[in-house]
Structure 1
Amino acid sequence: MSETRQTAEGTGGGRRQINWLRIAEAYALVVALLVLVAIFGALKPAAFLSWGNISTMLGSQAVLVVLTLALIIPLTAGDFDLSVASVATLSAMTLAVLNAQDGWPLWAAMLVAAGTGIATGIVNAAFILYFRIHSLIVTLGTGTFLQGVVLWISGSMTISGLSDGLTEYVIITRLFGIPLAFYYALGLCILLWYVFEYTTPGRRLLFVGRGREVARLSGIRVERVRFAALIVSGFLAACGGMLYAGTIGAADPLSGLTFLLPAFAAAFLGATAVYPGRFNPWGSLVAVYFLIVGITGLTILGIQTFVQNLFYGGALVIAVALSQLVRNREPQDFN
């Protein structure tokens, strides 16, 4: 009897130890973010910890958060979408051309801009699913094509003069000193978390990502799930583009493309946090601000601007390796 009790206690202790290890793994990136804040705050308290710098970091990265969240939806289903940055750029430019140049009402121009993202998602899904072409090839080609469209409709020039209402409700109006853009990104993060965790479509998406053939044998319409994921990705990328236009008050034909590498870095880095082993909204949010805190802190310390490329590129390679290791150790269970 005593041996049985000791065995049970040992088993329970092992379970408790494993749980603590999983918790430590899940929130390691959060701790790393806090450590970075503490280090840079100690080194440059007046500059780094100023409320102006903090609110700028939170508000300026809202676009990157939205694009990362758009990216993790097809990634969860096992597809890559390299066109998200191009969709965002096209959306912003469409909005600027229709509103600033052609005099369309802001709401109508925003509807058309959102439609460009949905249309791109449909095209991507059609080529990937019905022509059986790998998502990397399709979305790389689509993104390049869209960039040509952007240069064509803009004349390769930045277009300004957007309605004041857009910038007013994106970057100028603030809540607790933080631009509304941050709260839009945070609200989207909460929405996607709820969809992934508590809705049937979200659980199906996770199941498809773990194993398409198993999901198909379980009665899930895999192609339909992947189709929907690519469309939602395109739509959210277009929303990110409109948010970007509101942030800078204009549409630039090239600068939106710089979001692609950071979005991938944040997506894969986020897959090692909060819910290790799968792409998730909260992990992505933490990853975005981990990267921007590191870059901002190093810049304040006087490191040259090339640190941004080093940080994002290195983070992407390391994050992909870590997320792959974590995914291989995670149980295939979504109950």
Structure 2
Amino acid sequence: MTRLSPPEPATKPRLEADRRPETAPVRTSSASKQEFVSDLLRISITPAAFVVIFLIYGLWLGSTFANVQLRMLDIHQQAPVLLLVLAVLPTITVGMFDLSVASMASLTATLTISLVINNDLPFPLVLAICLVVGLAGGLLNGILVEQFGMHTFIATLGTGGLFLGISNVISGAAQLSPVPGGLAPPAWFSGEATSFGNYSSQIPAWLGWCLIVATAVFLAHRLAHVLPLARRTSWIIGIAVSAAMLVVLAAVGWLTQIANGISWMIFFLIVVALLLWIAFEHTPYGRYARALGSNRDASRLAGVKVRRVGIGSFVLGGLLAAIAGIVLAAAQDGAAPDAAGSFLLPAFAAVFLSTVIFSRGRFTVWGALTGGIFLVWVGQGLAVGGFPYTWTQVVNGAVLILAVGASLLMGRRFVFRRRSPKS
């Protein structure tokens, strides 16, 4: 009598995001050498291109560009833009776009100043209101897109106009700033040399050194996971690159200046980025968001609550945009109409750059932040060289096209060669 084998136990469908596509496979056959070179070029050509640009700036402009304090000041002044970069990341990861983040930042910047100087509300309550407004704006976007099925461009373009209109109504379409002797945000927030919004307010040196060491360790870890080599070899190269970076910075005297030049606003930016990175890399939300961005239908079949994840991404983006607006108010000690309107293009440019900065096509938090800083320095180098500041937007668009296009071209070059018919 033939025995029937017991049925295999049901297993939970495995999400594509759980397969860790960032981990490079080991390639040993000669047939994969061309693919190896293609991957290596794809993940390294964009950072190398920026390094070449900065070297050219250094030779051209000398100490007016190769100055640690000035470049750290650039990051401090552009912290609201970099926070808006992080605000774009949650929705673009799930395959959607939020065009309202800049308007939300303008709205919360206006609220931060207006609720103090016009309504005399306690500042902790003002901050809470701004954060709630950001959450509500993100929830509105999520409901329009996920529940009512509106196209993400139309929905967020409409809500962006709504947020900006409310901001103009509150401010009267005029500049808002504290009047001497009148109501103003607390001194720790803005308006004083030791306030959060001032670059001269810097973190202790020991904390700066901790950030430098953590950055070097993370760089080694990142390289070990994206280099198309064996794991042990990738780790050796990653550690060597990080050590070489520290040695070079120490040799030119920049390492100590970096440790002593981190403002509290830059530190706050790093903390927000760290929390977002943890959410994306070490929580179920991050895995589901990447799965949703990769294949929405497959994610639904695998049991992912796609609407809930999509709405959550819009809510998270709205919250980060609100934080960007609050930081903008601190940096400017005031609020101008549509103050963050020009931030949208560099924010999206930086996010797309993250896919070609030590990454295998994935949107990453640290890649987006690095891409944003690189864009700031490229534009600032041209400004120092005498180009009008109005060229910044041209640079943002051109750098995005050239960086991503060059990476894709160099990656495909070897693929086309491998697939060419043999004679």
TM normalised by structure 1 equals 0.88
Contact 1:68-1:284 within 8 A present in 2 as well: yes
- How much identity, in percent, do the aligned residues show? 30
Residue of 213, 232, 245 corresponding to 2:329 = 245
RMSD of aligned alpha carbons:
2.4
Show the 5 A alignment for 1:96-245: 96-161=113-178, 162-167=185-190, 168-172=195-199, 173-175=201-203, 176-245=260-329
Q: 1:193 to 1:26 in 2, by over 3 A?
A: farther
Specify every segment of 5 or more residues in structure 1 that has no aligned partner in the other structure, as ranges. Answer: 1-8, 329-335
Instruction: Please list the CA deviations of residues 134-178 of structure 1 after superposition, one character each: whole Å capped at 9, or x if unmatched.
Output: 110000000011111111000111111233221212334113223
Tell me the equivalent position of 1:36: 53
TM normalised by structure 2 equals 0.71
Residue 94 of structure 1 deviates from its aligned partner by 0.7
Contact 2:113-2:334 within 8 A present in 1 as well: yes
Q: Distance in 2 between matches of 1:320 and 1:123?
A: 32
Contact 2:45-2:407 within 8 A present in 1 as well: no
Residue 17 of structure 1 deviates from its aligned partner by 6.5
Tell me the secondary structure at the aligned position of residue 171 of structure 1.
coil
Residue of 72, 79, 84 corresponding to 1:62 = 79
Instruction: Please list the CA deviations of residues 212-254 of structure 1 after superposition, one character each: whole Å capped at 9, or x if unmatched.
Output: 0000000101111001000000000000000111111111112
Say if 2:340 is the partner of 1:256.
yes
Contact 2:138-2:319 within 8 A present in 1 as well: yes
Letter in 2 for 1:163: P
Q: Distance in 2 between matches of 1:31 and 1:184?
A: 28
Residue 319 of structure 1 deviates from its aligned partner by 6.1
Tell me the secondary structure at the aligned position of residue 356 of structure 2.
coil
Contact 1:30-1:286 within 8 A present in 2 as well: no
Residue 192 of structure 1 deviates from its aligned partner by 2.1
Q: Distance in 2 between matches of 1:241 and 1:55?
A: 21
Contact 1:61-1:288 within 8 A present in 2 as well: no
Tell me the equivalent position of 1:95: 112
Q: Distance in 1 between matches of 2:158 and 2:411?
A: 29
Q: 1:276 to 1:171 in 2, by over 3 A?
A: farther
Tell me the equivalent position of 2:389: 305
Contact 1:274-1:282 within 8 A present in 2 as well: no
Q: Distance in 2 between matches of 1:191 and 1:20?
A: 34
Contact 2:134-2:321 within 8 A present in 1 as well: yes
- Which stretch of the first structure deviates more once superposed, 144-153 or 273-282? 273-282
Which stretches of structure 1, 4 residues or longer, exceed 3 Å deviation after superposition? 9-21, 315-328
Q: 1:82 to 1:325 in 2, by over 3 A?
A: farther
Letter in 2 for 1:99: V
Tell me the equivalent position of 2:18: none
Instruction: Please list the CA deviations of residues 10-31 of structure 1 after superposition, one character each: whole Å capped at 9, or x if unmatched.
Output: 9445557745643442233322
Instruction: Please list the CA deviations of residues 66-122 of structure 1 after superposition, one character each: whole Å capped at 9, or x if unmatched.
Output: 111110110000111000000001011111111222211221101101111101011
Q: Distance in 2 between matches of 1:198 and 1:327?
A: 30
Q: 1:12 to 1:197 in 2, by over 3 A?
A: farther
Q: Distance in 1 between matches of 2:402 and 2:309?
A: 29
**Structure with higher RCO (Cα < 8 A, 6+ apart):** 2
Letter in 2 for 1:145: L
Higher helix share: 1
Contact 1:77-1:209 within 8 A present in 2 as well: yes
Contact 1:269-1:316 within 8 A present in 2 as well: yes
Say if 2:361 is the partner of 1:277.
yes
Letter in 2 for 1:251: A
Q: 1:198 to 1:327 in 2, by over 3 A?
A: farther
Tell me the secondary structure at the aligned position of residue 271 of structure 1.
helix
- Which stretch of the first structure deviates more once superposed, 295-304 or 203-212? 295-304
- Which stretch of the first structure deviates more once superposed, 306-315 or 10-19? 10-19
Say if 2:159 is the partner of 1:75.
no
- Which stretch of the first structure deviates more once superposed, 261-270 or 212-221? 261-270
Contact 1:124-1:142 within 8 A present in 2 as well: yes
Residue of 277, 294, 313 corresponding to 2:378 = 294
Contact 2:110-2:336 within 8 A present in 1 as well: yes
Q: Distance in 2 between matches of 1:322 and 1:189?
A: 27
Specify every segment of 5 or more residues in structure 2 that has no aligned partner in the other structure, as ranges. Answer: 1-25, 179-184, 204-259, 413-423
